[in-house]
A and B are shown apart, each in its own frame.
Chain A
């Protein structure tokens, strides 16, 4: 059956001797200490951000300068926050999907679709902001539900299932807008991606608020437990009565809704719905943010704060490249190298080597 096939692929090769080094290595770290702040995996991306900020300050001491103009804050850090908001929101949904051992490749395309839906609603004369936003989010949720059903109930591999929307999504967005880039003129809608609230960019505040709500919601409900259980050991969680399929499906729906929010923010920020360019490569940025933030692609434990900081790190990297004079198109090179570094550092083999290195040095 489907679950078995997925399990087989994920689990360590059967019939092999139990892998002692892995087990031994994990036991060796004193577990309680890991919960201390200084051991937190979030420290790594934070350190990365600080490093980039220092580099920028050395080049331009006014990098962090924030001025107040017309009762709003202005400056590079503010722009940075504003621009990382969509990725932050996407990374939120992506974190949950990855925690269940899945992946959602469709969110970039969904950003384009939902942006187009919002724009078309406005073009058709819908004035009410809640209605416009609801239409966009509803579309995201629907697409997420399709992904979720394919993964959780039809047993299609997550990469494969979400690939469908990744391929078809831009076509759908294009056909919604008739292939045009739609300009948006709707002050309330434009506020979402450009406005300021309490002198701070609204989009960044919204992203932060969503993280807060998610964090709280996952604690109030058994969401975090179920998601982590499914990602950690799908068979055992099903046997323990966890509604594994439902949990998996819900997570994709949440990811779709997050894509809807990000789509609204992007469309609002640039005041256009661009079916081709909007959300381009955003699914990749979101995945990177999650991985850099310390959530393993294998599923299980997840770290929302890590993804938040990871998204910030990615945007800081992009801004830094811009400041250093690297063309934005080329800025993908350091991104690629960063993700490679994180992957290699997380791999068992590298960890084994590093452990070996330290073990040999320790007695000396």
Chain B
């Protein structure tokens, strides 16, 4: 490894209205190294990548490639400068052939005409360079995601790229495919290329990378050689917890009702590419925490439980009777509720009023033929606006005009109004301010006291520790441990999340 870094980003800052996404971040990649860029949600990884690839313009700082100052204003300019990117979702055209996908935008030929033989040869060469076996005439959409991903890499490297950015390329690959991808990454490293690797899977970080940069809350935590950073410490850095401090922290009381009957029992839940052989129970009057790093299968579990995604295997029993849920509608009829982590896409009905957002699930549960009486609607709204302290001018304001925290409360109210027996809360406190967070935690406590079974998903480990009666930790789509009572503490959970050989330093 040379001392002169291939890429240096210095003091990068980026603000969006209301958010500081990056604050003075430094990042350097050397030629011939695979460099992991890690951090939890909102850490600023994707913003940093977007600055690097010319999608966003930074407000502060400079980017140098090979010592030369660059300011890419578009992905195309970044490519021309030598920075190529492959995203998690394959940004290719599934209905065109592999050869065309590799060539699009820079097809060989004169006066706008194509030279098809040259185009195919070119594609074959590009694939051969990476030792990818693939028919260049095949339609891209018919290939496996892994192969598509590799075609994307071939396309990215078709230009004389110096730096390859892989933004979560492994999210939907299986183990064999991942191994193939790693082989390619190592080959590129051997050729003196810099590779930036963004992933949520720690195993992969240790399997393939040379160096790690950790971001948290839009700021740099540090840069470390992979070999010198134990897994547990890495998790601590990502989550922002000092080990010594957390170990000493007094644990909150976690009352476990031994007598509490399980409301929901899931056994051996399977879904291809999402979760594997998962056992889970939710009891009345208990909060079951679902912990794990991003991509560990938390949300996927919730979706399967709620009937959004079909399961490939396993059983779900509600109140002792096995159920097959095919839609959220059925799940709601069974007394379940699910507040999604993606408020914008899966939660709010942005142009509808607070009132309509609040009553929609209850209305759906009661069936569509008889509308709830207007007085009843208003009573419900009045009750929940007051009880959850939702800040809104009145119930008729479009919900998109509310702040994130208040939108979240409206969504909670939507589910509380259905009086569920089981409620799944997926990241209920993400992206909302501290005050609202505390209030939402109070609501969770009240639900538990009222005898509701709660499944609480959060990437904030402290939050899990504070609120849960029992905790199931997921790692890489499997159950990595279950804790209850006094065993629920930050170090133990972190250890389970980090996996690998337990290191007690």
A18 CB–B CB distance under 8 Å: yes
Which B residues, 332 to 361, have Cβ-Cβ distances below 8 Å to chain A? 332, 338, 340, 345-352, 356, 359-361
Chain A residue contacts of B359, Cβ below 8 A: 225
When each residue 254-265 of chain A gets 1 if its CB lies under 8 Å from chain B and 0 otherwise, what string results? 000000000000
Chain B residue contacts of A228, Cβ below 8 A: 349, 351-352, 356
B400 CB–A CB distance under 8 Å: yes
Surface stretch bound by A, among B1-9, B132-140, B236-244, B363-371: B363-371
Bound-state CA distance A221–B366 (Å) is: 11
B394 CB–A CB distance under 8 Å: yes
Tell me whether A219 and B371 are in contact (CB under 8 A): yes
B397 CB–A CB distance under 8 Å: yes
Bound-state CA distance A11–B401 (Å) is: 19
Choice from A14, A219, A233, A242 contacting B348 with Cβ under 8 Å: A233
| Interchain nearest-CB distance for B434 vs A (Å) | 22
Chain A residue contacts of B367, Cβ below 8 A: 222
A36 CB–B CB distance under 8 Å: no
Chain A residue contacts of B397, Cβ below 8 A: 31-32
| Interchain nearest-CB distance for A30 vs B (Å) | 9
Q: Closest residue to B361 on the A side, CB-wise?
A: A240
B393 CB–A CB distance under 8 Å: yes
Tell me whether A221 and B345 are in contact (CB under 8 A): no
B329 CB–A CB distance under 8 Å: yes
Choice from A23, A235, A242 contacting B346 with Cβ under 8 Å: A235
Chain A residue contacts of B329, Cβ below 8 A: 238, 241-243
Chain A residue contacts of B308, Cβ below 8 A: 239
Tell me whether A31 and B368 are in contact (CB under 8 A): no
Choice from B306, B350, B356 contacting A225 with Cβ under 8 Å: B356
Tell me whether B346 and A229 are in contact (CB under 8 A): no
B396 CB–A CB distance under 8 Å: yes
Which A residues, 298 to 332, have Cβ-Cβ distances below 8 Å to chain B? 300-301
Choice from A23, A226, A232, A241 contacting B332 with Cβ under 8 Å: A241
Bound-state CA distance A239–B368 (Å) is: 16
Which A residues, 1 to 25, have Cβ-Cβ distances below 8 Å to chain B? 11, 14-18, 20, 23-24
Tell me whether A239 and B328 are in contact (CB under 8 A): yes
Bound-state CA distance A243–B331 (Å) is: 12
Bound-state CA distance A18–B17 (Å) is: 9
Chain A residue contacts of B360, Cβ below 8 A: 225, 229, 237, 240-242
Tell me whether A239 and B338 are in contact (CB under 8 A): yes
Contacts A31-B397, A242-B360, A243-B329; A20 near B346 (Cβ below 8 A) = no
B419 CB–A CB distance under 8 Å: no
| Interchain nearest-CB distance for A126 vs B (Å) | 33
Contacts A31-B393, A31-B398, A223-B368; A239 near B356 (Cβ below 8 A) = no
Which B residues, 259 to 310, have Cβ-Cβ distances below 8 Å to chain A? 306, 308
> Which residue of A23, A223, A232 has the most chain B CB atoms within 10 A of its CB atom?
A232
| Interchain nearest-CB distance for B171 vs A (Å) | 14
Bound-state CA distance A228–B352 (Å) is: 8
Chain A residue contacts of B371, Cβ below 8 A: 219-222, 225
Tell me whether B352 and A229 are in contact (CB under 8 A): yes
Which A residues, 208 to 252, have Cβ-Cβ distances below 8 Å to chain B? 219-223, 225-226, 228-229, 232-233, 235-243, 247
B16 CB–A CB distance under 8 Å: yes
Tell me whether A241 and B17 are in contact (CB under 8 A): no
B327 CB–A CB distance under 8 Å: yes
A360 CB–B CB distance under 8 Å: no
| Interchain nearest-CB distance for A305 vs B (Å) | 18
Contacts A17-B16, A18-B16, A233-B349; A238 near B327 (Cβ below 8 A) = yes
Q: Closest residue to A242 on the B side, CB-wise?
A: B364
Q: Closest residue to B368 on the A side, CB-wise?
A: A222
Tell me whether A239 and B352 are in contact (CB under 8 A): no
Tell me whether B349 and A229 are in contact (CB under 8 A): yes
Tell me whether B350 and A233 are in contact (CB under 8 A): yes
Bound-state CA distance A24–B345 (Å) is: 19
A124 CB–B CB distance under 8 Å: no
A27 CB–B CB distance under 8 Å: yes
Choice from A23, A35, A238, A301 contacting B396 with Cβ under 8 Å: A35
Contacts A228-B356, A229-B360, A300-B351; A240 near B414 (Cβ below 8 A) = yes
Q: Closest residue to B306 on the A side, CB-wise?
A: A239
Tell me whether A15 and B87 are in contact (CB under 8 A): yes
Chain B residue contacts of A247, Cβ below 8 A: 368
B56 CB–A CB distance under 8 Å: yes
A39 CB–B CB distance under 8 Å: no
> Which residue of B50, B327, B331, B360 has the most chain A CB atoms within 10 A of its CB atom?
B360
Tell me whether B363 and A222 are in contact (CB under 8 A): yes
Choice from B328, B352, B369, B396 contacting A221 with Cβ under 8 Å: B369
Tell me whether B328 and A220 are in contact (CB under 8 A): no
Bound-state CA distance A242–B356 (Å) is: 12
| Interchain nearest-CB distance for B485 vs A (Å) | 33
A26 CB–B CB distance under 8 Å: yes
Tell me whether B349 and A243 are in contact (CB under 8 A): no
Contacts A31-B397, A219-B371; A243 near B16 (Cβ below 8 A) = no
Q: Closest residue to A301 on the B side, CB-wise?
A: B351
Tell me whether B369 and A232 are in contact (CB under 8 A): no
Tell me whether A236 and B332 are in contact (CB under 8 A): no
Chain A residue contacts of B400, Cβ below 8 A: 23, 26-27
Choice from A11, A14, A20, A243 contacting B17 with Cβ under 8 Å: A20
Tell me whether A24 and B17 are in contact (CB under 8 A): yes
Bound-state CA distance A16–B55 (Å) is: 8
Chain B residue contacts of A24, Cβ below 8 A: 17
Bound-state CA distance A165–B369 (Å) is: 30
Bound-state CA distance A16–B47 (Å) is: 11
Chain A residue contacts of B370, Cβ below 8 A: 220-222
Bound-state CA distance A299–B123 (Å) is: 43
Bound-state CA distance A220–B373 (Å) is: 8
Chain B residue contacts of A35, Cβ below 8 A: 396
> Which residue of B340, B365, B367, B371 has the most chain A CB atoms within 10 A of its CB atom?
B371
| Interchain nearest-CB distance for B329 vs A (Å) | 5
Bound-state CA distance A222–B374 (Å) is: 11
Q: Closest residue to A232 on the B side, CB-wise?
A: B349
Tell me whether B56 and A17 are in contact (CB under 8 A): yes
Tell me whether B347 and A243 are in contact (CB under 8 A): no
| Interchain nearest-CB distance for A202 vs B (Å) | 30
Tell me whether B361 and A241 are in contact (CB under 8 A): yes
Bound-state CA distance A300–B350 (Å) is: 10
Q: Closest residue to B364 on the A side, CB-wise?
A: A241
Chain A residue contacts of B17, Cβ below 8 A: 20, 24
Choice from B89, B348, B365, B394 contacting A236 with Cβ under 8 Å: B348
Bound-state CA distance A26–B400 (Å) is: 9
Bound-state CA distance A233–B398 (Å) is: 13
Q: Closest residue to A29 on the B side, CB-wise?
A: B401
Q: Closest residue to B308 on the A side, CB-wise?
A: A239
Choice from B87, B89, B338, B393 contacting A32 with Cβ under 8 Å: B393
Q: Closest residue to B398 on the A side, CB-wise?
A: A31
Top-6 shortest CB links A-B: A241-B364, A241-B332, A222-B368, A232-B349, A240-B361, A222-B363
Q: Which A residues fall within an 8 A CB radius of B?
A: 11, 14-18, 20, 23-24, 26-27, 31-32, 35, 219-223, 225-226, 228-229, 232-233, 235-243, 247, 300-301
Beyond A226-B364, A241-B329, A247-B368, 15 additional contacts (C-beta under 8 Å) are A18-B16, A31-B401, A221-B370, A221-B371, A222-B368, A222-B371, A225-B352, A225-B359, A232-B350, A233-B349, A233-B350, A236-B346, A240-B328, A241-B365, A300-B351
In the assembled complex, 10 residue pairs joining A and B whose CB atoms fall closer than 8 Å, in A order, are A26-B398, A31-B397, A219-B371, A223-B368, A233-B350, A236-B348, A238-B329, A239-B340, A239-B346, A241-B329
